[in-house]
Amino acid sequence: MDHLEQLESLSVHILREAYASFKNLCMLWSIGKDSTVLLWLARKAFYGHVPFPLVHIDTNFKIPEMIAYRDRLAREWGLEMVYGMNEEALREKQTFPDGAIDRIACCRNLKSTALANTLSGKWPRYVLNHKTGSYEVYKNTEPYTGVIVGVRADEEGSRSKERYFSPRDRENSWDFGDQPPEFWNQFKTDFPPGTHLRIHPLLDWTELNIWEYIERENIPTVSLYYNQGDGKRYRSLGCYPCTTPIESPSRNVAEIIEELKSGGLKNVAERSGRAQDKDDGGGLETLRRDGYM
């Protein structure tokens, strides 16, 4: 087995453990490369099926190509596609692009708070109706208590402390100092009723692994990742007011892999195009504790 097969097998194993152990599971899909690889791995694990809903938190400031891509794959792959958003903050213009608040507060409003309330079912969820092709209010308001997330340990300091199965308390916060042990492939999968859980099947993957796997499996990705002729591309996808493309000549997956291995990106942090990280002194830590992905 090569290293990609090993990574794939462990991730599939974790997805299957999650599916066997927890009710009310969902998978967060940010539309980015990592969570798309995660979605692909779910199709691997369950042989073409995805037996839980995909949840997307729409900030309303996502780059439009991302939403079009999301809905295309949701239809093609027959996904149970759900989204939620902070409609109140958007209505009252409590956002950074509206000039009302800073970047960190905006992330908290449009992402962390929207996520918490979408997962709990307190705020409306919208589900794709495969017959009409449009979204409608989802009748299922049961809380999602197991959330599968595509974070990687190499992304950023705080993420390297995560476990494959990581409990959050009722406020979604994360007590990283008191985490359960994980022996061999025996993960902690027993939790008191009411526990909210994050499941991290991609923890051991690196950015390079993600691209190598996208190439090997021929996984469809958003065109924003590639230079369309202007010498710029996105390395990490987010909201357009806070995400800037990087200077890069890579026009396809193979060129990105080459660029990561030897080219200009070798020693540049992946999220360098994400403005909110810089505003949060200690990296993502403040946001992470509030449930940010």
Partner 1 sequence: MAEILEKQKMNIVIAGHVDHGKSTVIGRLLADTGSLPDGKLEQVQENCRRNSKPFEYAFLIDALKDEQSQGITIDTARVFFKTVKRNYIILDAPGHIEFLKNMVTGAARAEAALLVIDADEGVRENSRRHGYMMSMLGIRQIAILVNKMDLKAYSRDVFEAIVKEYTAFLKEINVVPACFIPVSAMLGDNIAALSPQHMPWYTGKTVLDMLDAFEKEPPPLDKPFRMPVQDVYKFTRFGDNRRIVAGTIETGSLALGDEVVFYPSGKKSRVKTIECFNAPAQTQAVCGTAAGFTLEEQIYVTRGELATKAGEPKPRVSSRIRVNLFWLGRDPLVQKKDYLFKLGTARVTARLEEVRRVIDASDLNAASKNQVERHDVAECVFKLNRAIAFDPTSDIGATGRFVIVDNYEIRGGGIIAEGLDDRQTWLRETVMLRNYKWEKSIISPEKRAEKYNQKSTLLVLTGEKQVDRKAIAKQLEDRLFEDGKVVYFLGIGNVLYGIDADIKGRDGNQHQEHMRRLSEVANILLDAGIILLLTAVELTQDDLEIMKTTVSPEKIETVWVGENVTTDIAYDLQLTQHENVEESVDILKAYLQDKGIIFRPW
| Residue 49 sits in the site that holds partner 1 (CB under 8 A) | yes
| Residue 65 sits in the site that holds partner 1 (CB under 8 A) | no
Alpha carbon 289 to chain centroid, angstroms: 16
| Residue 170 sits in the site that holds partner 1 (CB under 8 A) | no
Least distance (Å) between residue 78 CB and partner 1: 7
| Residue 177 sits in the site that holds partner 1 (CB under 8 A) | yes
| Residue 285 sits in the site that holds partner 1 (CB under 8 A) | yes
Amino acid present at 38: L
For residues 68 to 107, the per-residue mask of contacts with partner 1, x marking binding by CB under 8 A and - elsewhere, is: ----------x-----------------------------
Q: Quick one: tokens of 134?
A: 């449009």
- Using CB under 8 A, pick the residue from 20, 76, 131, 139 that binds partner 1: 20
Least distance (Å) between residue 177 CB and partner 1: 5
Piece of 52-60, 83-91, 97-105, 277-285 that binds partner 1 (CB under 8 A): 277-285
DSSP assignment string, 262-290:
TSTTTTS-GGGGBHHHHHSTTTTHHHHHT
Q: Total residues contacting partner 1 (rule CB under 8 A)?
A: 62
- 25-44 residues in contact with partner 1 (CB under 8 A) are 43-44
| Residue 3 sits in the site that holds partner 1 (CB under 8 A) | yes
- Using CB under 8 A, pick the residue from 120, 206, 241, 244 that binds partner 1: 206
| Residue 46 sits in the site that holds partner 1 (CB under 8 A) | yes
Amino acid present at 77: W
Instruction: Please tell me the distance from the alpha carbon of residue 207 to that of residue 229, in angstroms, as a whole number.
Output: 23
Q: Are 202 and 45 in contact (CB under 8 A)?
A: no
Least distance (Å) between residue 221 CB and partner 1: 15
| Residue 277 sits in the site that holds partner 1 (CB under 8 A) | no
- Using CB under 8 A, pick the residue from 45, 74, 149, 287 that binds partner 1: 45
Among positive and negative, which fits the CA dihedral 93, 97, 102, 106? Answer: positive
| Residue 217 sits in the site that holds partner 1 (CB under 8 A) | yes
Q: Which is nearer to partner 1, 241 or 283 (CB)?
A: 283
Three-state DSSP state, 239? strand
Instruction: Please tell me the distance from the alpha carbon of residue 196 to that of residue 171, in angstroms, as a whole number.
Output: 9
Q: Which of 186, 157, 172, 41 is nearest to 119 (CA)?
A: 172
Least distance (Å) between residue 176 CB and partner 1: 6
Q: Which of 109, 43, 19, 35 is nearest to 70 (CA)?
A: 35
Q: Are 175 and 123 in contact (CB under 8 A)?
A: no
| Residue 251 sits in the site that holds partner 1 (CB under 8 A) | no
Q: Which residues have C-beta within 8 Å of that of residue 177, sequence separation ≥ 6? A: none
Q: Quick one: tokens of 209?
A: 């692994």
Q: Which of 48, 50, 61 is nearest to 27 (CA)?
A: 50
Per-residue burial over 193-209, b if 16 or more Cβ lie within 10 Å, else e, is eeebbbbbbbbbbbbeb
Q: Which is nearer to partner 1, 62 or 152 (CB)?
A: 152
Which residues contact partner 1 by CB under 8 A? 1-6, 8-10, 12-13, 16-17, 19-20, 43-49, 51, 78, 153-154, 156-158, 160-161, 163, 176-177, 179-186, 188, 190-192, 203-204, 206, 208, 212, 217, 254, 257-258, 261, 267-269, 282-283, 285
